[in-house]
Amino acid sequence: MIRKRLLAFAFLCFFAISAFAQKTALLIIDIQYFYFPGGKTELVEPEKAAENAKAILVAFRQKGNSVIHVRHIFEPGGNFNNRVEPIEGEAIFSKKAVNSFVGTDLKAHLDSLAVTEIVICGMQTHMCVEAAVRAAVDFGYNVTLIDDACATRNLKWNDIEVPAKMVHAATLSTLKSYCRIVTTSMYLEGMLK
């Protein structure tokens, strides 16, 4: 009798842990070759951001959490960067809009997994990443943005040159009221606890 109860308890714990693991999903946005050196829209230090995104991706895969890849429909260079290429079983959504939720079934997919928290990283910080963070929060998800797993580019407004570092910082400074923003190492340390 005790053995049956222990087995039943272990079974319930396994499913509770599995259910918890599925509540958080990783959303990797537009880490595609056209943002890397030689691409149509080169960003500043995309390799560094992609390496950090890869570290987060590896941790999610090891924990068995949901991973979702979003790609912007664009050629040439529209393939996912090899650091974060999807593997079998990971969802892929292709979009034409800046916002990953527009024109895709992303929200329906997240809801089908009972996701309540989304971890976001990708490219460009001030465009597709920002749009996804704002939309996800508006839809009621808790969002964590991985600061150093995102990249952007230098911008210009009239005669004002805005370095990528400032574009990134300005975007994050507005998003801090929408979501939790952490570095890769901070997130991984918390994930391992």
Tens digit of pLDDT for each residue in 94-143?
999 999 999 999 999 999 999 999 999 999 999 999 999 999 999 999 99
Residue environment code for 177-191, b if the CB has 16+ CB neighbours within 10 A, otherwise e: eebebbebeebbeee
Instruction: Work out the pLDDT band at 1, boundaries 50, 70, 90.
Output: low
Q: How much is the pLDDT for 191? A: 76
pLDDT of residue 91: 98
| Confidence bin at 8 (pLDDT 50/70/90) | very low
Tokens of 121: 């990283």
How high is the pLDDT of residue 107?
A: 98
Q: With a cut of 90, say whether residue 16 has pLDDT above it.
A: no
Confidence of residue 144 (pLDDT cuts 50, 70, 90): very high
User: Does position 5 have pLDDT exceeding 70, yes or no?
Assistant: no
Strand order in the sheet with 117-123: 91-95, 66-72, 24-29, 117-123, 142-151, 180-182
Query: In this predicted model, what pLDDT tens digit does every residue of 17-75 receive, in sequence order?
Result: 444 444 999 999 999 999 999 999 999 999 999 999 999 999 999 999 999 999 999 99
Please give the residue that has the higher pLDDT: either 51 or 15: 51
For residues 172-185, give the mean pLDDT: 97
Residue 2 pLDDT class (50, 70, 90 cuts): low
User: What is the reported pLDDT for 193?
Assistant: 62
pLDDT of residue 20: 44
